[in-house]
């Protein structure tokens, strides 16, 4: 059995780190950026790491992807453990509470940044893998779902994604990390797009056609020249990640999700 | 700082006062205006910073940074009618917002997004002015020192975001 306490301890560290320490690859690229606000952005990376203040005031909502082996026993439903971990980290740290209890009528802040969002992926085996995104609201609002015709060409798919980002990328704190879910149903495509964002920058799709498509879409997005802070200097996107799933003969769902320039994420793995 | 002399692309370090408010507070203000109620704060001559601060620590004001301005474009005319001189946020705004800046002779600044820890050191003396029940979405007044700004829409209606 994997105890709730053990999971909470690991997650606490990983979530704090995601909010205060930039990925080394991002720091490396930021050092190459010379444009509006480049000085204060570099200063920010250093101050956050040193002071424990978050890199961004929007410390997001927590979206978890839980891969649970059938031999793994847990003390309590995993979502309760995830909520406890987030509540602990956010109330103990100088992080913002950004969650409201009701989306429409009573947008009252819940005061501890919970509840979290949790996607479950049942697996075989004795491992429990938990990936997460710390997802800010600005980049989240760039999310889109396109129900393309099943006969859509690769070019149409690329154009759909690139045109959407041409309109929206400047609002999402670029350079962006781009996740694309192709296939499944409407909801599955969106979850796949989010899951794609949990991959590391270098991780290409295992199928060479999709890997090449990731490269092509990245080139086209960078061709938009939206740049850091949306002001036209430097790269527009770091990487594109595609996840796929079988789909219905009448459909081709395409989900689009983006992460802002700090692309906060984490991953912890346990064995039972 | 003379608002009308600023031009798109100008970068400056601003020292002075900001009123902080975002979506929920402006929605409430708009409702009060429609109901002809007196507003709880004076906006005359104010610079509005679209932001929601994180928590302070014992050594620091706490992380702060701009949120997406275009979400609040529908409140911009109300702000200008109440005397707001400039707004500070992130990202491009609607054509309507650009027209309003030209019509009223006001400007829109970008503040660096995703630089919250660094900006914390440039802010002091935060007081809550209204709507405390909204938490991070309340209306606050802060003093800022050497706060980096970039002119994205000037009072002639020039807009830095050309990707329409």
What is the tens place of the pLDDT at every residue in A150-186?
999 999 999 999 999 999 999 999 999 999 999 999 9
User: What are φ and ψ of residue A263, in 5° steps?
Assistant: 35, 65
Size of interface A-B (CB pairs under 8 A): 144
For B118, the closest of A20, A43, A232 (CB atoms) is A43
- For B75-102, how does the pLDDT look when each residue is reduced to its tens digit (9 = 90+)? 999 999 999 999 999 999 999 999 999 9
Does any CB of chain B come closer than 8 Å to the CB of residue A97? yes
Residues 108-137 of A with CB under 8 A from B: 109, 111, 137
Extents of the domains making up chain A:
4-136+265-271, 137-259
How is B110-136 classified by DSSP, letter by letter? E--TT-HHHHHTTEEEEEEEE-GGGGG
Q: Shortest Cα distance from B139 to chain A (angstroms)?
A: 15
- What is the sign of the dihedral through the CA atoms of A10, A11, A16 and A21? positive
Interface predicted TM-score of the whole assembly (ipTM), two decimals: 0.91
Domains of chain B and any CATH numbers: 3-153 (3.20.130.10)
**CA-based radius of gyration for chain B:** 15
Cβ of A53 within 8 Å of Cβ of B148? The answer is no
Cβ neighbours of A215 (radius 10 Å): 14
* Chain length of chain B: 164
pLDDT band at B162 (very low <50, low <70, confident <90, very high): low
Tell me how far the alpha carbon of residue B80 is from its chain's centroid: 12
**Edge-first strand listing for the sheet containing A265-271:** A117-123, A61-69, A127-135, A265-271
For B54, the closest of A37, A43, A59 (CB atoms) is A59
Q: Which residue has the tokens 């203040």?
A: A53
- For B89-136, how does the pLDDT look when each residue is reduced to its tens digit (9 = 90+)? 999 999 999 999 999 999 999 999 999 999 999 998 889 999 999 988
Q: Minimal Cα distance from A94: which residue of B?
A: B55
At B56 the pLDDT is 82
Does any CB of chain A come closer than 8 Å to the CB of residue B121? yes
Q: Which residue has the tokens 């995104």?
A: A133
Taking contacts as CB-CB distances below 8 angstroms, the residues of chain A near B53 are 57, 96
**How far is A78 from A60, CA to CA, in rounded Å?**
20
Cβ of A94 within 8 Å of Cβ of B110? The answer is no
- For A40-61, how does the pLDDT look when each residue is reduced to its tens digit (9 = 90+)? 999 999 999 999 999 999 999 9
Mean pLDDT of B136-160: 96
């Amino acid at each position: 059995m994997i105890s709730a306490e053990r999971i909470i301890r690991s997650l606490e560290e990983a979530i704090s780190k995601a909010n205060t320490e930039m990925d080394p690859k991002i720091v490396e690229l930021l050092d190459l950026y010379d444009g509006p606000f480049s000085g204060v952005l570099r200063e920010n990376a250093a101050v956050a790491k040193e002071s424990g203040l978050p890199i961004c005031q929007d410390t997001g909502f927590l979206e978890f992807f839980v891969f649970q082996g059938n031999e793994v026993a847990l003390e309590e439903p995993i979502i309760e453990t995830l909520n406890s971990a987030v509540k602990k980290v956010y109330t103990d740290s100088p992080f913002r509470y950004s969650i409201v209890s009701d989306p429409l009528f009573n947008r009252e802040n819940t005061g501890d940044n919970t509840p979290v969002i949790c996607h479950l992926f049942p697996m075989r085996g004795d491992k429990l893998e938990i990936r997460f995104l710390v997802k800010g609201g600005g980049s989240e609002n760039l999310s889109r779902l396109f129900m393309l015709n099943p006969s859509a060409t690769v070019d149409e798919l690329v154009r759909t994604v690139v045109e959407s980002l041409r309109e929206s990328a400047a609002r999402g704190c670029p350079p962006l990390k781009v996740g694309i879910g192709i296939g499944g149903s409407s909801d599955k495509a969106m979850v796949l797009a989010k899951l794609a964002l949990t991959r590391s920058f270098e991780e290409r799709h295992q199928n060479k056609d999709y890997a090449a498509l990731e490269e092509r879409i990245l080139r086209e997005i960078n061709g938009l020249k939206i740049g850091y802070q949306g002001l036209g200097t430097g790269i527009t996107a770091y990487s594109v990640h595609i996840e796929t799933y079988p789909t219905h003969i009448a459909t081709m769902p395409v989900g689009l999700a983006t992460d802002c320039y700090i692309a906060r994420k984490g991953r912890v793995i346990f064995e039972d | 700082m003379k608002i009308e002399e600023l031009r798109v692309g100008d970068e400056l370090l601003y020292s002075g006062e900001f009123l902080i408010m975002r979506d929920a507070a402006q929605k409430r203000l708009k409702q009060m205006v429609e109901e002809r109620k007196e507003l709880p704060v004076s906006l005359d001559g104010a610079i509005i910073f679209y932001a929601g601060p994180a928590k302070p620590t014992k050594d620091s004001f706490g992380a702060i940074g701009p949120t997406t301005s275009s979400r609040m474009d529908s409140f911009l005319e109300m702000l200008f009618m109440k005397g707001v001189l400039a707004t500070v946020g992130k990202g491009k705004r609607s054509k309507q917002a650009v027209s309003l800046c030209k019509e009223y002779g006001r400007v829109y600044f970008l503040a660096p997004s995703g630089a919250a820890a660094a900006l914390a050191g440039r802010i002091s003396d935060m007081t809550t002015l209204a709507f405390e029940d909204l938490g991070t979405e309340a209306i606050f007044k802060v003093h800022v020192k050497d706060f980096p700004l970039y002119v994205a829409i000037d009072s002639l209606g020039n807009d830095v975001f050309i990707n329409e």
